[in-house]
């Protein structure tokens, strides 16, 4: 029970940081002033260029560029460090075995191979670069604008609708879970046995699942009644300015240089 509560509270605190993205997108920064279509296209192209690179230094250069863009877009280093730590943890689970399992020249008396180190560096740098580029997009662009830009590039309606609904309601469901456990704890007197704590955890999970299912049905019916068919509409119109054309040219040049250097 305590483990489940700590897990829910940890996820709740972590996802509360998602609200930082809305505040960050409203700030005055370099990328905040660029058309969302240009950011979606340009940053995605840089991610692809980093993924396709066959050399380490172009990927490292793209990561350094992403850090500079984050600084001039007023994204704190604390936000980036949390992303880097999470990406490093999950990537390390795969990268560490590669140090020993990749065949090649053994380094010294260890079982680590040079090819394994190179493979691990490629994997970690690519993931860190892609995660940083994605954070740049999310923290400099309102979420509705990101979804609308995806639809402009002909991303399927189903994918955009699922992505939008997932991002919007996962916070609500976690908040519901947090409030459920808080109410259970405030109404519990004394110390419960292990069996009673497990029974309470299972019962709470069942209630949360039932409420989640009911909420999803109610939201779907309400959206259908209001004419929602998957398209994203916002009050702001996307209009290209000279600054946006300059940003597009800069992204094209950076992508071309990264692809050429990573051959």
181 shares a domain with 120: no
10 domain-assigned: no
- Per the domain annotation, does 13 fall within a domain? no
pLDDT of residue 42: 94
* Same domain membership, residue 135 and residue 167: no
Collapsed DSSP state (helix, strand, coil) of residue 240: coil
pLDDT in the model for residue 16:
63
Asked if residue 202 and residue 184 are part of one domain, the reply reads yes
Identify whether residues 229 and 243 lie together within a single domain: no
- 3-class DSSP state of 113: strand
Domain interval for residue 197? 154-233
Query: Residue 189, by phi and psi: left (phi above 0), alpha (psi -120 to 50) or beta?
Result: beta
Question: Does residue 118 form part of some domain?
Answer: yes
pLDDT value, residue 232? 64
Residue 50 has pLDDT above 90, yes or no: yes
- The predicted pLDDT at position 13 comes to 64
Q: What is the pLDDT of residue 167?
A: 73
120, burial (CB in 10 Å: exposed 0-12, middle 13-18, buried 19+): buried
Query: Domain count of the chain?
Result: 2
CA distance 17 to 22: 10
Residues 107 and 186 in one domain: no
Average pLDDT value for residue range 9-25: 67
Q: With contact defined as beta carbons under 8 Å apart, do 26 and 73 qualify?
A: no
pLDDT of residue 97: 84
State the maximum Cα–Cα separation within the chain, in Å, rounded to a whole number.
69
Instruction: Specify the pLDDT at position 234.
Output: 65
- Tell me how far apart the alpha carbons of residues 27 and 25 are, in angstroms, rounded to a whole number: 6
Does the residue 4 lie in any domain? no
- Tell whether the model's pLDDT for residue 185 goes beyond 80: no
Question: Would residue 197 count as lying in a domain?
Answer: yes
pLDDT band, very low/low/confident/very high, at 214 (cuts 50, 70, 90): confident
Tens digits of per-residue pLDDT, 86-137? 888 888 888 888 888 888 888 877 778 888 888 889 999 999 999 999 999 9
What per-residue confidence (pLDDT) applies to 136? 92
Mean pLDDT of the chain: 81
Residue 29 pLDDT class (50, 70, 90 cuts): confident
Instruction: Give CA angle at 131 (44, 135), nearest 5°.
Output: 80
- The confidence score (pLDDT) of residue 3 equals 54
pLDDT band for 8, please (50, 70, 90 cuts). Answer: low
Is residue 251 located within the same domain as residue 229? no
**φ and ψ at residue 233, rounded to 5 degrees:** -120, 135
Q: Taking a C-beta distance cutoff of 8 angstroms, is the pair 38, 251 a contact?
A: yes
- 243 or 211, greater pLDDT: 243
The reported pLDDT for the residue numbered 233 is 67
Shared domain for 225 and 252, answered yes or no, is no
Same domain, 64 and 107: yes
- Residue of higher predicted confidence among 240 and 178: 240
């Amino acid at each position: 029970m305590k483990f489940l509560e700590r897990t829910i509270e940890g996820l709740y605190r972590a996802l509360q940081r998602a609200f930082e993205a809305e505040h960050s997108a409203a700030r005055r920064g370099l990328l905040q002033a660029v058309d969302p279509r240009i950011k979606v296209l340009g940053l995605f192209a840089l991610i692809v260029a980093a993924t396709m690179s066959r050399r380490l230094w172009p990927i490292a250069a793209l990561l350094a560029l992403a850090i500079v863009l984050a600084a001039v877009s007023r994204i704190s280093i604390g936000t980036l460090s949390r992303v880097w730590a999470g990406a490093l943890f999950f990537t390390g689970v795969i990268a560490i075995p590669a140090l020993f399992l990749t065949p090649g020249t053994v380094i010294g008396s260890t079982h680590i191979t040079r090819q394994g180190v190179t493979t691990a560096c490629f994997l970690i740098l690519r993931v860190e670069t892609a995660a940083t580029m994605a954070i740049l997009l999310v923290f400099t662009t309102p979420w509705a604008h990101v979804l609308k830009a995806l639809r402009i590039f002909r991303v399927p309606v189903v994918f955009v609708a699922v992505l939008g609904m997932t991002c919007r309601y996962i916070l609500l469901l976690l908040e519901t879970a947090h409030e459920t456990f808080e109410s259970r704890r405030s109404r519990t007197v004394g110390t419960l046995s292990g069996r009673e704590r497990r029974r309470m955890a299972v019962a709470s999970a069942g209630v949360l699942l039932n409420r989640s299912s009911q909420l999803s049905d109610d939201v779907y019916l309400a959206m259908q009644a209001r004419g929602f068919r998957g398209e994203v509409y916002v009050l702001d119109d996307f209009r290209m300015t000279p600054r946006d054309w300059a940003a597009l040219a800069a992204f094209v040049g950076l992508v071309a240089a990264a692809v050429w250097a990573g051959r």
